[in-house]
Structure formats: structure tokens, C-alpha cells
Amino acid sequence: MNEMRELLREAGVVPVLSIADPARAVPLAEALLAGGLRHLEITFRTPAALDALRAIVDAVPAAQAGAGTVTTAAQADAAGAAGARFLVGPGFSADVARRAADLGLPYLPGVATASEIMAAGAHGLDCLKFFPAGPMGGIATLKALAGPFPDVVFCPTGGIDGTNAADYLALSNVLAVGGSWPAPADLVAAGDFDEITARARAAKALVGGPCEPH
């Protein structure tokens, strides 16, 4: 639980990556790292995701590559075997929470309601992904949730980009934000890694962090 908090606090911005071609994975990770973003969420939304995760773990050890869109214990096992440093889910799963604990991996489940926050809390989780942030009320909802859940912190994702990320990051219960805007799928497909580095640098500047690779 504390490990997930520290990971998000260091990250500030977590690129959410959907990689269709595993050959793009390593140059993509290197481009993001060059811009100062090293905590990367590789979503299990494409057939290439697991190969992409393995490639980044093997070839770009300075990156902290995690698995996203993890919805089952089997996916958690596959992510762990591939070397994922953390797991992210679109929703909360008790099965994934238990498997993440067994694997020793930080787990960031998605929540959108007070009931889901309480369900995650019953499993000792108080560092959560607020998803989908925009459709679920965004900043206003996060402010409202701070009242009944003063010890819960969030990484909102969904509808966040360079125009509003700083507003989310200014909230006391937000440690980091996630989004695809530093490396959108069209730029990845085009191999425009210079633009991705520039976007990563701009994103990192939102949290006042260094813009050089770690």
C-alpha cells in the first residue's frame, strides 16, 4: 500500500500506453524516459501488450513498467511473470488484490463510487485509481470524496490531458494522474518519438520534476 503511494508520488504523471506493435515498445519507453517519465502503464488492451511489457522490462531497466487493464488473477500472474513492477485495474477485483499481494506487487484498482472505495478499503487498499475521472465528475467528485475518505489518495485517469492535469494534481487527495496524452496511439504508430519526448517533458514539468532520464 505504501509502495504504491511512493510510486505515484514519484511519478506525478503515468503514461497509459496501448501498444499494438511490440517493436515500438522499446523506443517508446526510451522516448518517455528521455522526457522524464519512467513509470509506464502498459495496458492489456492489445494482443501485443504482454510482449511489449517484456521487451521494456528487458531492454529499458530504468523504466518502471507496470501492467494496466488487469481484470483477472490470471492476467496478474502473466504480468508478474513478464516483470511488471505494479498492476493497475479499471475496477476493483478482490481476486486481483489477493494475487497482487501474493506476488508482492503494488496494486492500483479503479474505483468510481464510495461503495467501491469501501470495498477496496476492506482489502487494505487506500491508494486508488479514480476512473473514468471525467465522466464521473472529475475534480468536483474528488473534492466531495475527500470528506468521507480523508485518508484515501487517488490517481485519476480518463479525460485527463495537458490542459487539465495540473488542476487535478493541485488536489490534496491526488498523488498523480494517468493518461494517454504524452504518447497517444497515433504518434506511437507513426514512430514520432521526438514528439513523444517533448510531450513527456511538458507533462513532467506539471509536477515540477526533473526532465532528464533517471
pLDDT of residue 1: 59
Set 3, 10, 116, 129: catalytic member: 129
124: left (phi over 0), alpha (psi -120 to 50) or beta: left
Give the residue ranges of DSSP H helices in the chain: 2-11, 25-34, 49-59, 73-82, 94-103, 114-121, 138-146, 165-169, 185-190, 193-205
- At residue 22, what are phi and psi to the nearest 5 degrees? -60, -20
Q: Which three cell numbers stand for residue 46?
A: 492489445
Set 10, 41, 204, 212: catalytic member: 41
- At residue 92, what are phi and psi to the nearest 5 degrees? -90, 135
Rounded CA separation 181/190 (Å):
15
CATH T-level fold of 2-205? TIM Barrel (3.20.20)
43: left (phi over 0), alpha (psi -120 to 50) or beta: beta
Question: pLDDT digit string (tens) for 82-117?
Answer: 999 999 999 999 999 999 999 999 999 999 999 999
129 is catalytic: yes
Domain boundaries, the chain: 2-205
Question: pLDDT digit string (tens) for 152-201?
Answer: 999 999 999 999 999 999 999 999 999 999 999 999 999 999 999 999 99
The mean predicted confidence, pLDDT, of the chain is 95
41 is catalytic: yes
For residue 212, pLDDT over 60 is answered with no
Percent of the chain residues topping a pLDDT of 70? 96
Sheet of 127-130, strand order: 110-111, 127-130, 153-156
